[in-house]
Structure 1
Amino acid sequence: MDSMTIIAVASIVTAGITLAIGVLGPSLGEGRAVATALTSLAQQPDAAPSITRTLFVGLAMIESTAIYCFVVAMILVFANPFWNHFAAAAGQ
């Protein structure tokens, strides 16, 4: 197996692990945030606009973590910064 194949396999495996771990945390966080917001809405229905607005801002911030993991995985698969280094080393 040549070095380019090893880099390709390592990139794909790392991208998969990045997505698996990087999406697990935000998913659990979003579920907990929604459950807490629903509990708060049940206890204080008059504060619904404030709770809902705060919930959506918090969910957007939590979701950005999963989006960053997705971007890192796409960079590893399609625009890997190690390709040029190993291609230049193989050519020398």
Structure 2
Amino acid sequence: MENVAVAQLGQYLGAGLACIGMAGAAIGVGNVAGNYLSGALRNPSAAASQTATLFIGMAFAEALGIFSFLVALLLLFAV
């Protein structure tokens, strides 16, 4: 019975560590958006041409968060 408790502890610990990636994704999205706004305020005429780059950067940063969430779910529910 003790082996089951250790296995569940490992699942919960691994899922918690995988959630660190979601925090990193949130920081990355904030960094991308903040740098875009900083550049747009410095040169408003170039902001429209950089919108696609903003969305691509946000998508890449958010994809890492989604992958870490998937890993956490797999650790919790895949037996």
TM over 0.5: yes
Is 1:72 the counterpart of 2:78? The answer is no
Question: Counterparts of 1:23-38 in structure 2 under 5 Å?
Answer: 23-38=22-37
Question: Counterparts of 1:1-92 in structure 2 under 5 Å?
Answer: 1-19=1-19, 21-80=20-79
Q: Residues of 2 paired with 1:37 and 1:30: CA distance?
A: 11
Between structure 1 and structure 2, the one with the greater Rg is: 1
Moved over 2 A (4+): none
Aligned residues: 79
Return the offset for 1:22: 0.8
Return the offset for 1:4: 1.8
Partner secondary structure for residue 8 of structure 1: helix
Residue deviations 1:14-66, cap 9 Å, x none?
101210x2122222221111111001111121122221111011100000001
Structure 2 unaligned spans of 5+: none
Q: Residues of 1 paired with 2:39 and 2:49: CA distance?
A: 11
Return the offset for 1:2: 2.1
Q: Residues of 2 paired with 1:50 and 1:58: CA distance?
A: 14
